[in-house]
């Protein structure tokens, strides 16, 4: 795609954008002067769809009017409510419905998955993760190792970038698996790294890990709703993700979970259980031994929070209408334009550490600021930009195709350039 560094070009791209109408379906935060912020922080918290309030209000109304009868007689009955989300979410993450459920929160699901898929035995005791993973993943993984009696200093294998580099090379992942695969029980990576934005080649990593006898999971918090995950075809054993970033479900909303269908009918697979994962036909018998539902629903613990699921349902309807493939195509163009414009800025002070290959990233670009003290980030914030700062020296910006525009990308880079010169 041929880009041009002018606002007129950006405006023309917005006029031609077949998805331009979706922006009007989101609430945009506004500055004190009444102008909308340039919101480039969907990688931390997505904006609220205007349909969310009505979706939640419906459940509040049914609770008000029906009380407990809402479980069966609400407009959207609460008893099977999580099932209303399954097919649309499965489409977003590239999975089969039997492989996807919305439940709990992200780190809870991460722990539940490790209970089932981290099964150390003999010399196979280690977990492989990226060195610069999101802290919550590190805490969860380290605690699981300690729970099994292992010292993370010895049993946590970290993938590190080479000296002087930021991104992890695929050949280095292959080398670590070849050298230590016989001792690794679980490979657990953030499929799209929160800091660099690097989107790992999940099918290739899974293939290499399975060949060494390792099980494989991915934290897709920064991938779901952002990049084509194709979880089923990736072959991964499990994946987890949050829904409040690119899926726009609201702060702290319910997480998603994937378990590959090859595990769907394995009733002997170790797991922590709760009654919502029990056979739906006999669930209310109350006195039966645990009989897991086929598929990932068996990992459910308790009946889900309906108000949170209502917000997810509202957002998934927007996604279904827009189409994930269409969103990906706009994302490639929008982020490509951001990259192009940042590259036009005077060199020497900032650089992009996110992969240059569009297939190895989502919409986030991580801009590294030389000799950073956060003052540049604070300056662009004061000028009307909501982005994201990550220590020690990175500004993360994510033009989300559902609601961001080419003109916003142009205006952001113009502000960035002005504040750099100042």
For the chain, domain boundaries: 7-36+324-421, 57-320
The structure tokens listed for 73 are 């007689």
User: Looking at residue 422, what is its pLDDT?
Assistant: 82
Q: Two tokens at 388?
A: 């994201």
Instruction: Give the pLDDT score at 109.
Output: 98
What value does the mean pLDDT take over residues 203-230?
98
Whether residue 100 contacts residue 90, with contact meaning beta carbons closer than 8 Å, is answered with yes
The verdict on domain 57-320 having CATH code 3.40.640.10 is yes
In tens, the pLDDT along 139-165 reads 999 999 999 999 999 999 999 999 999
Query: 381 pLDDT band (50/70/90 cuts)?
Result: very high
Q: Is the pLDDT of residue 373 over 80?
A: no
The C-alpha atoms of residue 305 and residue 393 are separated, in whole angstroms, by: 38
75 or 373: which leads in pLDDT: 75
Q: Output the six-digit token pair for 181.
A: 């695969």
Mean pLDDT, the chain, as a whole number?
96
Banded model confidence at residue 287, pLDDT cuts 50, 70, 90: confident
pLDDT at 411 over 80: yes
pLDDT at 392 exceeding the cut of 90? no
In this structure, of 214-228, 308-322, 339-353, 408-422, the range with the lowest mean pLDDT score is: 339-353
Residues 316-326, mean pLDDT to the nearest whole number: 98
* DSSP 8-state secondary structure symbol assigned to residue 262: G
Q: What is the pLDDT of residue 361?
A: 98
Confidence at residue 370, expressed as pLDDT on a 0 to 100 scale = 82
222 compared with 2, residue with greater pLDDT? 222
| Mean predicted confidence (pLDDT) in 367-380 | 87
Residue keyed to tokens 């010292």: 151
Task: Specify whether domain 7-36+324-421 bears CATH 3.30.300.210.
Answer: no
pLDDT (0 to 100) of residue 314: 98
Whether 388 shows a pLDDT value over 80: the answer reads yes
Query: In terms of Cα–Cα distance, which of 85, 148, 105, 159 is closest to 319?
Result: 85
* DSSP class per residue in 270-318: -----GGGB-TTTGGG-SSPP-BPSSGGGG--S---HHHHHHHHHHHHH
Alpha helices of 351-405 — where are they, by DSSP H? Answer: 375-382
pLDDT at 52: 98
* Residue 391 pLDDT class (50, 70, 90 cuts): confident
Q: How many residues does the chain have?
A: 422
pLDDT value of position 346: 81
Q: Structure tokens of 189? A: 């990576």
**Residue 371 pLDDT more than 80?**
no
- Rounded to an integer, the average pLDDT of 288-315 is 96
pLDDT of residue 105: 97
Alpha carbons within 13 angstroms on the beta-carbon side of residue 322 total 29
Per-residue model confidence as pLDDT tens digits over 239-282: 999 999 999 999 999 999 999 999 999 999 999 999 999 999 99
- Mean pLDDT of all residues in 339-343: 97
Asked if 7-36+324-421 and 57-320 have one fold, the answer is: no
CB 399 within 8 A of CB 38: no
pTM: 0.95
* Mean pLDDT value of segment 22-29: 98
Mean of pLDDT values over 31-59: 97
């Amino acid at each position: 795609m041929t880009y041009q560094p002018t606002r007129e070009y950006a405006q023309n791209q917005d006029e031609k954008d077949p998805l331009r109408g979706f922006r009007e379906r989101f609430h945009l935060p506004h500055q004190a002067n009444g102008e909308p912020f340039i919101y480039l922080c969907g990688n931390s918290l997505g904006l609220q769809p205007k349909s969310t309030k009505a979706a939640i209000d419906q459940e509040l109304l049914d609770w008000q009017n029906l009380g407990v009868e809402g479980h069966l007689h609400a407009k959207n009955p609460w008893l099977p409510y999580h099932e209303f989300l399954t097919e649309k979410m499965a489409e977003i993450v590239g999975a089969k419905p039997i492989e996807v459920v919305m439940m709990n929160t992200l780190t809870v699901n991460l722990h539940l998955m490790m209970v089932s898929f981290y099964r150390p035995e003999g010399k196979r005791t280690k977990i492989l993760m990226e060195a610069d993973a999101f802290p919550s993943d590190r805490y969860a993984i380290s605690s699981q190792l300690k729970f099994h009696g292992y010292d993370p200093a010895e049993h946590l294998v970290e993938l590190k970038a080479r000296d002087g580099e930021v991104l992890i090379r695929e050949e280095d992942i292959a080398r670590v698996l070849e050298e230590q695969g016989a001792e690794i029980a679980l490979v657990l990576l953030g499929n799209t790294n929160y800091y660099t934005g690097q989107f790992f080649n999940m099918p290739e990593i899974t293939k290499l890990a399975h060949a060494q006898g390792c099980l494989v999971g991915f934290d897709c918090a920064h991938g779901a709703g952002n990049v084509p995950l194709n979880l089923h075809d990736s072959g991964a054993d499990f994946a987890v993700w949050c829904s409040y970033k690119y899926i726009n479900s609201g702060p702290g909303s319910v997480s998603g979970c994937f378990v590959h269908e090859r595990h769907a009918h394995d009733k002997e697979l170790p797991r922590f259980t709760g009654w919502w994962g029990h056979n739906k036909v006999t669930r209310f018998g109350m006195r039966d031994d645990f009989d897991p539902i086929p598929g990932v629903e068996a990992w459910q613990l308790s009946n889900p929070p309906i108000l949170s699921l209502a917000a997810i349902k509202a957002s998934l309807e927007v996604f279904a209408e827009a189409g994930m493939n269409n969103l990906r195509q706009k994302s490639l163009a929008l982020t490509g334009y951001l990259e192009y414009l940042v590259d036009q800025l005077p060199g020497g002070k900032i650089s992009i550490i996110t992969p240059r290959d569009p297939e190895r990233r989502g919409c986030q670009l991580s801009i590294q600021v030389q000799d950073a003290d956060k003052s540049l980030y604070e300056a662009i914030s004061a000028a009307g930009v909501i982005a994201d700062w990550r220590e020690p020296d990175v500004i993360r910006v994510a033009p989300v195709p559902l609601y961001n525009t080419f003109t916003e990308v142009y205006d952001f880079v113009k502000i960035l350039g002005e504040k750099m010169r100042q």
